[in-house]
Amino acid sequence: MTQKIRVIVADDHACVRLGVIRLLQAVPHVEIVGEAADTETLAELLDAHACDIVVSDIGMPGIHGGNNAVSFLRRLLRVRPYPCVVVLTMICHAHVLSGLLHIGVAGIVDKRDTPTALIDAINAVVAGDIYLSDQARIAIEAAETPPQPRMGVLSAREWEVFQLYVQGFAVYEIAARLQRSGKTISTQKRSAMRKLGLETENDLIEYARQIGLT
């Protein structure tokens, strides 16, 4: 391969970024053109540098607050031409992983898989393929019911409610804070949990932990 694949690495954990960068710097046909700890820095890098691949976690600070990069990636993948996105994550919820594929993410690599999985993902998505690492594929295939399109993709309002709820706010407190009715907040909370495939409060807490909200 004569032309190098230009990559930006985005993760809010410095040790993860360093590990990924060192791994990819050892690959002759890959060039690191930037690193980001949040979506605001990622947006600035994308404006400043030509990039073929974004390797990104989804549990990192967003431009408008919160700790979720999905809304930014969704906007990024709506505008052509856009770089391919490979998500590097610890999340193992089938609905969430399928939702990432639905918005246009080309590769998903579980952080528990071997380091070579990320290199394989980059090579695959550059070639126009969809890539799932072993753990990501197992998580999706193990779902009792196949996730439906748009599952795992929350609206901005659903994410806002979900985020406040896992931070410990009661439904009535969220309603007052966001100036919506309690019924609306309850509906948005239930919708968010359904889309994410979360059935119990324990499921909700575990998912929030995985993406760094708690």
Three-state SS at 84: strand
| 176 and 119 within one domain | no
- The share of the chain scoring above pLDDT 90, in percent, equals 52
> Do 130 and 173 share a domain, yes or no?
no
One domain, residues 160 and 137: no
Percent of the chain topping pLDDT 70: 88
pLDDT at 149 over 50: no
**pLDDT tens for residues 113-125?**
998 999 999 999 9
Asked whether residue 11 carries a pLDDT value surpassing 50, the answer given is yes
pLDDT band at 25 (very low <50, low <70, confident <90, very high): very high
**CA 140, CA 116: separation in Å to the nearest integer?**
21
Q: Both tokens of residue 12?
A: 């809010």
* Within-domain flag for 71: yes
168/112 same-domain check? no
Distance CA 121, CA 135 (A): 13
C-alpha to C-alpha distance for 129 and 121, rounded to whole angstroms: 9
Phi-psi region of 84 (alpha: psi -120 to 50; beta: other; left: phi over 0): beta
Query: Shortest CA distance to 167 belongs to which of 196, 202, 209?
Result: 209
Which CATH number belongs to the domain containing residue 172 in this structure?
Answer: 1.10.10.10
Same domain, 123 and 20: yes
Q: Is residue 149 part of a domain?
A: no
Considering its fold, how many domains does the chain have in total?
A: 2
Whether the pTM exceeds 0.75: the reply is: no
From 7-21, 24-38, 156-170, the region with the lowest mean pLDDT? 156-170
Q: In the block, which residue shows the tokens 């031409």?
A: 81
SS3 7: strand
Question: Which residues span the domain enclosing 181?
Answer: 156-210
Give yes or no: residues 12 and 58 share one domain: yes
Residue range 48-75, pLDDT digits in tens? 999 999 999 988 876 655 567 877 888 8
pLDDT digits (tens, 9 = 90+) for 124-138: 999 999 999 999 999
The Cα 29–Cα 211 span in angstroms is 31
The CATH number of the domain holding residue 95 is 3.40.50.2300
Q: Is residue 62 part of a domain?
A: yes
Hey, what are 23's tokens? 């791994």
| Alpha-carbon gap, residue 73 to 58, rounded angstroms | 9
Q: Are residues 190 and 137 in the same domain?
A: no
* 116: CB partners within 8 A, 6+ apart: none
In this structure, the answer to whether residues 129 and 163 fall within a common structural domain is: no
Work out the mean pLDDT of the chain and round it to a whole number. 85
